[in-house]
């Protein structure tokens, strides 16, 4: 397993991971990333990837704000799920942010797998945004810092 910042040449591999997730679970409100929205986010956010050999198997997108890195998307290819890739990648991001920054993210109330992942890593639930998602669901805000 190795970690690398991602750039334009990795865009297609990132899209392929999201397509594989959508193929597996459908376009659920818990993870709503149509390709145009995803393309815009990939183009403007920072990204870090986790590789198995030469293959990109997971990535995180985040935005740098003053004192905070705000995570907008985390995704592992379904073929590689539950093998610790995203835990390892987020630990890498936690180390990289240093002590002077926090990590923030929001997650759909029904995305229990992602909530488990964040809580295991030590993220704390810090707030709620009711009716945040298209389906009227609440966003749970998590902070690490």
Closest to ligand COA by CB, 36 or 100: 36
Query: How far apart are CB 69 and ligand COA at their closest, in Å?
Result: 14
Query: How far apart are CB 144 and ligand COA at their closest, in Å?
Result: 14
Q: Measured between alpha carbons, how far is 42 from 60 in angstroms, rounded to an integer?
A: 10
Beta strands in the chain (DSSP E): 2-5, 46-52, 55-65, 68-76, 102-108, 124-129, 139-144
Containing 120, the helix (H) or strand (E) segment is helix 112-121
Query: How far apart are CB 115 and ligand COA at their closest, in Å?
Result: 9
Nearest to residue 8, comparing CAs of 35, 47, 52, 37?
Answer: 47
Query: How far apart are CB 52 and ligand COA at their closest, in Å?
Result: 11
Closest to ligand COA by CB, 77 or 97: 77
Closest to ligand COA by CB, 87 or 143: 87
Closest to ligand COA by CB, 34 or 84: 84
């Amino acid at each position: 397993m190795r970690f690398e910042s991602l750039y334009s040449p990795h865009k297609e591999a990132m899209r392929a991971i999201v397509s594989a997730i959508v193929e597996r679970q459908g376009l659920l409100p818990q993870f709503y990333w149509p390709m145009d929205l995803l393309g815009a986010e990939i183009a403007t956010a920072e990204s870090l990837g986790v590789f198995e050999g030469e293959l990109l198997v997971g990535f995180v997108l985040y935005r740098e704000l003053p004192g905070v890195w705000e995570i907008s998307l985390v995704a592992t290819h379904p073929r590689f799920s539950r093998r610790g890739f995203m835990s390892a990648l987020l630990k890498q991001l936690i180390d990289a942010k240093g002590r002077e920054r926090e990590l923030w993210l929001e997650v759909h109330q029904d995305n229990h797998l992602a909530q488990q992942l964040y809580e295991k890593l030590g993220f704390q639930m810090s707030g709620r945004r009711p009716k945040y998602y298209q389906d009227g669901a609440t966003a749970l805000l998590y902070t690490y810092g």
